[in-house]
Amino acid sequence: MKFFPVLALVALTSTAAFAQQNNDEVLNGLIRQSIAYYPQLKQQRQAVSLSQSRTQLAESGNKPTVSGDASYTYIWPLQKVAFEIPGLGSNAIQFAPRNNYNVGVSVSQTVYDWGKTNAAIDKARIESILSEQNVEQATHQLAYQVAQIYFSIVYLQKAITVQLAQESLVSETAKVIENRIKSGDEIDYNLVATNVRYKNVRTRIVDLRNQLDRQFILLSSLVGKDVHADIPTTGSFDLTTLTSQDSVSLANNWDIRVSKTKEMVAEKDIEAAKAAKLPSLSFVGNTGFKNGFQPEIDKFRFNGGLGFHLSAPIYSGKRHIIQEDIARKNLQMSQYGTEAASVAVQSQLDQARSELRSTSEKLRLSETQLEEAKYGLKLADVRFQNGVITQLEIQSAQTALEEAEFQRIQYQYQQALARLEVNRLLGTKIW
């Protein structure tokens, strides 16, 4: 029986076997599929389209309004004046026909409104940018969520591999003990203890496989299809698109970027509230055909008119003042929100970087511990074969190697998550 080569193969698998797989392509493919499928992103993309339509609506305020009109009015009593003309008898002047018809076209064009329309347009454009940023932020979060689940799957696959190797070791140990019992060199108790340990390993394998299935189900719900065939069993925690620069600023953090855009929206709200209390000058014109013109009031005639219309608010119950005050308070809230987001993100970044440094150091130490555990098991294997040490001692060496391998995988996983968190906070695009 040889214990060491089996675990050596596990170590080789966990570090180099993925050389034949392109980890970036696998993960990026999953991220792109999730971005194309995820329903909430589709909903937010529709919000962008809605914002663009609102911008177009605001821009239409600078364009003329043309409308066609047609009306009919029946008048009673008739408006007329009767009078007597000597020699001609009784006569009357009718001021309007009983049946009045009017068909025409009217035009209205804002000439100058002291920035009222432009303020509305600017606000709509900034809100459209905010909607686009919301989509980018949601896409960014979804990409990192997919990456986290992918790394958890890689971790569970590696953990199961370690447990399977441990299961093989315990099984071989049980066979050796059985042979020694037959020859009278071992007692039944050691075999029972080994079988119990074997069942414990099997239980951990079942538990890990259940966790792995749950992660596959979760990732499939984000991608929109079963992803078992898309993820190799020899995945890795490496991702070349991740940055390790500590000097990168938080300017690209999506929480801060969105918060600053909300400030810009609030500033445009103030401008719109100020402009609402200003006058508006418009050009108006109309033309068409109608009756009612003296002296032949029943005859249709072509007519038209041109002019200007000035509208200025005089009193509205302080409504404009209150609206401006509300807009200023919204701006202040947005500024506080940006400040709070900056503090929170900086704190999260410092914690993530601290976690990254800690796990990197633990990983370095675990590499040394793993090599020592491998060498210890190799020596214990030789001595166990020669009957120098007991079953308890060989199992202790096996357990030490299992724990060392597990610790290394856990630290690799924690390091990958810490790197992901740092890059998420820095706004790094990983797809």
Q: What percent of the chain has pLDDT over 70?
A: 91
User: Residue 101: pLDDT band by 50, 70, 90 thresholds?
Assistant: very high
Residue 330: inside a domain: yes
Which has the higher per-residue pLDDT, 317 or 42? Answer: 42
Strand partners, 304: 287
Mean pLDDT of 346-370: 93
Residue 42: inside a domain: yes
pLDDT of residue 430: 92
User: Residue 245: pLDDT band by 50, 70, 90 thresholds?
Assistant: low
Residue 299: inside a domain: no
Residue 144: inside a domain: yes
Among 62-66, 300-304, 316-320, the least confident range: 316-320
Q: For residue 376, give the CATH number of its domain.
A: 1.20.1600.10
User: Residue 271: pLDDT band by 50, 70, 90 thresholds?
Assistant: very high
pLDDT one-digit tens code per residue, 368-389: 999 999 899 888 888 877 777 7
Query: Across the chain, what does the average pLDDT equal?
Result: 87
pLDDT one-digit tens code per residue, 25-50: 999 999 999 999 999 999 999 999 99
Among 34-38, 80-84, 122-126, 425-429, the least confident range: 80-84
Is pLDDT at 18 greater than 80 in this prediction? no
pLDDT of residue 186: 63
Residue 149: inside a domain: yes
pLDDT one-digit tens code per residue, 142-191: 999 999 999 999 999 999 998 898 888 788 778 877 777 777 666 677 77
Mean pLDDT of 57-62: 92
Residue 207: inside a domain: yes
CB atoms inside a 10 Å sphere around CB 357? 12
Residue 48: inside a domain: yes
Residues of the domain holding 318: 4-65+112-280+313-426
Is pLDDT at 247 greater than 70 in this prediction? no
pLDDT of residue 226: 95
Do residues 171 and 201 make contact, with C-beta atoms less than 8 angstroms apart? Answer: no
Count of structural domains, the chain: 1
Residue 368: inside a domain: yes
User: Residue 89: pLDDT band by 50, 70, 90 thresholds?
Assistant: low
Mean pLDDT of 341-358: 94
pLDDT one-digit tens code per residue, 190-244: 778 778 888 888 999 999 999 999 999 999 999 999 999 999 888 889 888 887 6
